[in-house]
A and B are shown apart, each in its own frame.
Chain A
Amino acid sequence: MTVLIKGAGVAGLAAAFELSRRGIAVEVLDAAETVGTGASSYAGGMIAPHCEREAADEAVLTLGLSAADWWEEAAPGEVFRRGTLVIAAGRDSGELDRFAARTRGYEWVGGNAIAELEPDLAGRFDRALFFPEEAHLDPRKAMDGLYATLVERGVRFHLGSTDLPSDTSFSAVVECTGAAAIATTTGLRGVRGEMLFLETSEISLSRPVRLLHPRHPLYIVPRDNHRFMVGATMIETDDDGPITARSVMEFLNTAYAVHPAFGEARVVEMGVGVRPAFADNLPRVLDRDDGFAIAGMYRHGFLLAPAMARQLAEKLCGAEHPPFSPNPPFRQGATQ
């Protein structure tokens, strides 16, 4: 059995990993020259199922709980298990209580504990929520690591190509084309996300920091080389044009509020991605005439691609090799 996966983003590569580990021959096709060039490359890379529960369905939490373990196996050495710190400016302190009421898996921490966790934030915030079980990764490095794992396992890649490999016949095709599927998939819409990279050596963070704000919530994810990923907007459109001045202004104002050192940082990259999403913002494995599709990853690509890949693998070859147990049942939404 040979399966063709269309799309070398996070969903496609996760699917390739789950299928190849079950002994299925996998080939991956993508028009781009390298893996992870779509929305995946602008992801925050937060493996934060508890924090996401604030606004997401319970399924996002249950399906995302094992994602950090999955990534550690698929891309060894790329996962940082340092938790998430959630903060708010003094005036918006009520937002912390609201966030706490909607989530689990946190500890309340005061000024001293904040200083221990993130010394550069010492004295700036009186209280915060700390989610110790959460993790983060650098999406670009994790995708490179996963790609290396897959090549090692014999997965064949056809990158920079839109033509089907003619020398093989496929028993199934799995479409993992992200935002490109919006035009052809009923119920799928685009949600624009903008982000930027700041570079400064004046401040360092060990873990993702989320700043709650009634209008401009923001997260800052530390990367290598004194870089920080700052994101991300959620705008209901599939427009992937350049970032707007308004969004840049809001990001910079809010980052500056987290720490004034960000005011002196260099803006080294700005990015825009379109997240494909269904009306309930939950991803699905869809049946297709020639196989399956993984669609609607929304803002949970790195968090939920492992669970979607497992569901796909179970549909394709039965559940006799569950790699993690138990796999929580996926709640099917009302719309499709």
Chain B
Amino acid sequence: MLTLYGRELGSRMLLGTARYPSPAILADAVRQAGTEVVTVSLRRETAGGRSGGAFFELIRELGVRVLPNTAGCHSASEAVLTAKMAREVFGTNWIKLEVIGNHDTLQPDVFGLVEAARILAGEGFEVFPYTTDDLVVAERLVEAGCKVLMPWCAPIGSAMGPQNIAALRTMRAHFPEVPLIVDAGIGRPSHATIVMELGYDAVLLNTAVAGAGNPALMAAAFAKAIDAGRAAFEAGMLEPRDMAVPSTPVIGKAVFS
């Protein structure tokens, strides 16, 4: 069972809600994946809608937990402001914290991220920081009060899959007790399996599902891939052997040659 800020979750797949062909298809994907947490990005003009956001109403009707995010924020103060608006709109202390440092790659601004995390944790938010795989930044985030870490495995929307397995392994080894969620960079189900086999606790996806030809079917595929990776991690996998050099005499060859 995955526990995030005291909340037990049966599914290890978190799903973003942006860029689906329609809200109906998004709802179908959520159902097919069995996901229990969806992220919703709060743009400021979105919050200003007269009806209070019919889209948000559709999200609430999914009956899953909402993790609002601060997507598109480029400074700590902007992210803090957006987080507070999100708390009002969705009535939750959970916040996926994104502070973007580079407009093109959407790489996180880790300095602004730590600053915003400290402010938000101090104000009672339960922060899910979108970060890089840098160990020192991760330590600072934990010091700032984050009880979950969400490293990327490749840039957002790149679909490249895990680019630095060693860094992901290191992070897992250094934070055995902190739930680690790979956020961003996953392109296909096998990528998700790889990071789950490394012992990551969950995967957060959006584009890989929303951009698929059949998003609901892809959501189901990811759910299976994530379960497979987790089960493999728990079962304990064989380590690969180097077969290049024989370690014992080879039958058919003279032993004392």
Q: Which residues of A pack against B, CB within 8 Å?
A: 55-57, 98, 101-102, 182-183, 188-190, 192, 214-215, 235-239, 241, 244, 246, 277-282, 333-335
Contacts and interface: CB of A to CB of B under 8 A. Distances in A.
Contacts of B55: 189, 236-237
B45 A239 contact: yes
Given A280-B24, A281-B21, A334-B24, A238 B45 contact: no
A235 B56 CA distance: 12
Contacts of B112: none
A266 B213 CA distance: 38
A238 B24 contact: no
A210 B46 CA distance: 25
Contacts of A334: 24
Q: Is the interface of A mostly helix, strand, loop or mixed?
A: loop
Given A214-B207, A279-B22, A279-B23, A235 B213 contact: no
Contact of A235 (B46, B54, B58): B46
Contacts of A55: 21
Given A189-B23, A239-B48, A280-B23, 17 more contacts: A55-B21, A56-B21, A57-B22, A101-B213, A189-B57, A189-B58, A192-B45, A215-B157, A237-B45, A237-B46, A237-B47, A279-B22, A279-B27, A280-B22, A281-B21, A281-B23, A281-B24
A282 B23 CA distance: 11
Interface in B26-72: 27, 43, 45-51, 53-58, 72
Interface residues of B, number: 25
Contact of B54 (A56, A101, A182, A215): A182
Contacts of B213: 101-102
A239 B58 contact: no
A214 B157 contact: yes
13 contacts: A182-B51, A182-B54, A189-B54, A214-B207, A235-B43, A235-B45, A237-B49, A237-B55, A239-B46, A246-B72, A277-B22, A278-B24, A280-B22
A278 B54 CA distance: 10
Interface in B1-36: 21-25, 27
A10 B24 CA distance: 25
Contacts, number: 71
Nearest to A194: B45
Residue among B24, B53, B213 facing the most chain A CB atoms (10 A cut-off): B24
B211 interface: yes
A279 B55 CA distance: 9
B46 A236 contact: yes
Nearest to A94: B159
Contacts of A246: 72
Contacts of B211: 98
A235 to B, nearest CB: 6
B24 A237 contact: no
A323 to B, nearest CB: 29
Contact of B53 (A214, A236, A241): A236
A54 to B, nearest CB: 9
A297 to B, nearest CB: 14
A333 B24 contact: yes
Contacts of A280: 22-25
A246 to B, nearest CB: 8
Contacts of A237: 45-49, 53, 55
Contacts of B54: 182, 188-190, 236, 238
Nearest to A244: B45
Q: Kindly list the 6 A-B residue pairs having the minimum CB-CB distance in the complex, ordered from nearest.
A: A189-B54, A236-B55, A237-B49, A281-B22, A280-B24, A279-B24
A261 to B, nearest CB: 23
A92 B86 CA distance: 32
A239 B22 contact: no
B228 to A, nearest CB: 26
Contacts of A281: 21-24
A333 B50 CA distance: 26
